[in-house]
Amino acid sequence: MNRRLAYFLLGGLLVSLLLAGVVSNFASGSPDGLDSAAREGCTFDADGTITGGECMARGEEDHQLADGPLADYGIKGIDNDFLSTGLSGILGVLVTFGIGAGIFWLARKRSREPVG
């Protein structure tokens, strides 16, 4: 790999880690468009629990990984929300980068094999 490509990839990784680790903590906690549409027609208490009405959100269930170590954009066991969210973002970037690098490494290895 040439140096320019290595610097470009390293720079992209560092920017991604910074965004995931710091900026992710400033994301809105309000429901996104899909959640807002699913909640239309229901009433909620201060904790966000449905108290009445009819909406799609009434049929909502937890997903299979709701109790997982990285559920709800944080790391289970870390009480500091800022640190927990930042670390889970960093871990997500590293895992994604690792999977992508592995796929490209495998594709590169295959393309160098002689044909026939």
3-state SS string over the chain? CCHHHHHHHHHHHHHHHHHHHCHHHHCCCCCCHHHHHHHCCEEECCCCCEEEECCHHHHCCCCCCCCCCCHHHCCCCCCCHHHHHHHHHHHHHHHHHHHHHHHHHHHHHHHCCCCC
Per-residue model confidence (pLDDT) at position 114: 63
The answer to whether position 116 is within a domain reads no
Q: Which domain holds residue 87?
A: 3-111
Per-residue model confidence (pLDDT) at position 115: 60
The answer to whether position 74 is within a domain reads yes
The answer to whether position 98 is within a domain reads yes
The answer to whether position 89 is within a domain reads yes
Per-residue model confidence (pLDDT) at position 116: 58
The answer to whether position 54 is within a domain reads yes
- Tell me: pLDDT of 110 over 70: no
**Domain tally for the chain?**
1
The answer to whether position 83 is within a domain reads yes
The answer to whether position 47 is within a domain reads yes
Percent of the chain with pLDDT over 70: 91
